[in-house]
Amino acid sequence: MIAIIDYRAGNLTSVNLAFEALGIEATITDSPEVVLNAERVVFPGVGAARAAMDNLAELGLVDTIKTVVARGTPFLGICVGMQILLDHSDENDGVNCLGLVSGNVSRFAPTDPYDKVPHMGWNRVRKCKQHPVFDGIENDSEFYFVHSYYPSPVDWACVLGITDYAGITFSSAIVQDNLVATQFHPEKSGSSGLRLLKNFTEWTPA
C-alpha cells in the first residue's frame, strides 16, 4: 500500500486521483503508524515551508519520515515535499527543514522582468543520469511547475534532472538511495507525470 502523507500543507486530491487513474491503491493519511507500515510513501506539498514543518511537528510525523527514509522505504517528495527534505529554506524568513538531503532552498531572483514568480507552467527537465523513475520518459520532456523557491542540493551526484528558469539552472529532480523528489508536479503533468508515478510504484531501490 502507498501512503500519501497528509500534513495539512495542501491539496492531495490530484495526487490521489493520479494513482486512481493508474489503478494503484493509495491512502491519504496523517497517521504515523500508517506511514510506518506503508510499502511506499508519497510526500506531496503545496504551500509554505514553515507551515509544512510546523504541521509535520504537530502531527508527530518528523521522526516518522526520518525513520521510513532511513530504513529504505521507497519515498517520493513532490514540490514543497521536495524542498523540506533539504537542510534549510529561505522562505518565511528562514526555516530549518528535515535535513535528509544536504542543501538550501532559495527564492528565484529574476533579472529579466518577464521571468515571473511563481515559476508557473510547463518546463523541460533534462535528465542528468539514468534512473528507473525516468524510464520511458524522453529527455527534455515537459512537466508542470508552480513554485517561487528552488532547491540547491550540495551534492551534484544526487541530481537526476535539471531545469532552466529565471537565469539559473536548478535541480528539478533528485535521488538519494531510496528517496526521490521532484520540484514539478508529476500528478498534474499529463502522461509523462503518470509514467513517473507508475515507475515509482515499480521501483526497487538498490
Partner 1 sequence: MLTRRIIPCLDIHDKVVTKGVKFQNNVEMGDPVELAAKYYEEGCDELVFYDITASAERRPIDIEMVQEVAKAVRIPFAVGGGISNLADMERVLLAGAEKVSVNSLAVRNPDIIAQGAKAFGNQCIVLGMDPLAVEDRVKCPSGYEITVRGFREHTGMDALEWARRAVDLGVGEIVVNSVDADGTREGFEIGLTGMIADNVGVPVVASGGAGNPQHLADVFNEAHADAAIIAGMIHSGDYTIPQIKEALIEVGIPIRQRW
187: contact with partner 1 by CB under 8 A: yes
> Is residue 97 among the annotated active site residues?
no
- Which 83-122 residues touch partner 1, going by CB under 8 A? 113-122
| Cell numbers for 57 | 511537528
Q: Is 199 in the site for partner 1 (CB under 8 A)?
A: no
Cell of 180: 526521490
- Distance CA(109)–CA(18), nearest Å, equals 32
Q: Is 79 part of the annotated catalytic residue set?
A: yes
Q: Note if 91 is an active site residue.
A: no
Q: Please tell me whether residue 57 adopts helix, strand or coil conformation.
A: helix
Provide the 8-state DSSP code for 84.
T
Among 79, 97, 128, 158, the active-site one is: 79
Q: How far is CA 89 from CA 147, 152, 177, in A?
A: 13, 10, 22
DSSP letter, residue 154: S
Task: Identify the residue among 24, 28, 34, 46 touching partner 1 (CB under 8 A).
Answer: 46
- Taking the complex as a whole, the smallest distance from the CB of residue 80 to partner 1 amounts, in Å, to 9
Q: Which residues are catalytic?
A: 79, 185, 187
Binding site for partner 1 (CB under 8 A): 10-11, 13-14, 17-18, 20-21, 46-48, 113-124, 138, 141-142, 144-148, 164-165, 187-194
